[in-house]
């Protein structure tokens, strides 16, 4: 299973909105509403911020939102803040013969 495709980097000024894309195939993103997004601060473990395409876990800021269209999922960060500077990684369930999960390569978000 190939990795999901994300842009290597995205940047924005404080207060702006940015969107990170995550492109898969009809075997993963396109087939299941089981896309999740993770925030990874330097040297730390990933933290779940979006599950099932657009749902937020308790305690995650509503500035984070997710969506999906066809084989591409997206994460939008609204009202960008300095503490949002991190890597963001998407993941999709992808069943072939057996359950399988594929991750994106990650997108570095820089707050200018």
Residue ranges in contact with other proteins by CB under 8 A:
1, 3, 34, 36, 38, 44-48, 51-52, 57, 89, 91, 93, 96, 98-106
Structure tokens at 47: 């933290």
Work out how close the CB of 61 gets to other proteins at its nearest, in angstroms, rounded to a whole number: 16
Work out how close the CB of 50 gets to other proteins at its nearest, in angstroms, rounded to a whole number: 9
> Exposed, middle or buried: residue 89 (CB in 10 Å: 0-12, 13-18, 19+)?
buried
80 vs 90 by CB, closer to other proteins: 90
15 vs 52 by CB, closer to other proteins: 52
Is 94 within 8 Å of 100 (Cβ atoms)?
yes
Cα-based angle 65, 35, 56 (whole degrees, multiple of 5): 35
59 vs 82 by CB, closer to other proteins: 59
């Amino acid at each position: 299973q190939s990795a999901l495709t994300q842009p290597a980097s995205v940047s924005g000024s404080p207060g702006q909105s940015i969107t990170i894309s995550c492109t898969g195939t009809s075997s993963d993103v396109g087939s299941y509403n089981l896309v999740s997004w993770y925030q990874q601060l330097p040297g730390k473990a990933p933290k779940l911020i979006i599950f099932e395409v657009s749902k937020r876990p308790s305690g995650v800021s509503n500035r984070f939102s997710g969506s999906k269209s066809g084989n591409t999922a997206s994460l939008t960060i609204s009202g960008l803040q300095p503490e949002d500077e991190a890597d963001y990684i998407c993941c999709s369930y992808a069943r072939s013969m057996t359950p399988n999960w594929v991750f994106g390569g990650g997108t570095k978000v820089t707050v200018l």
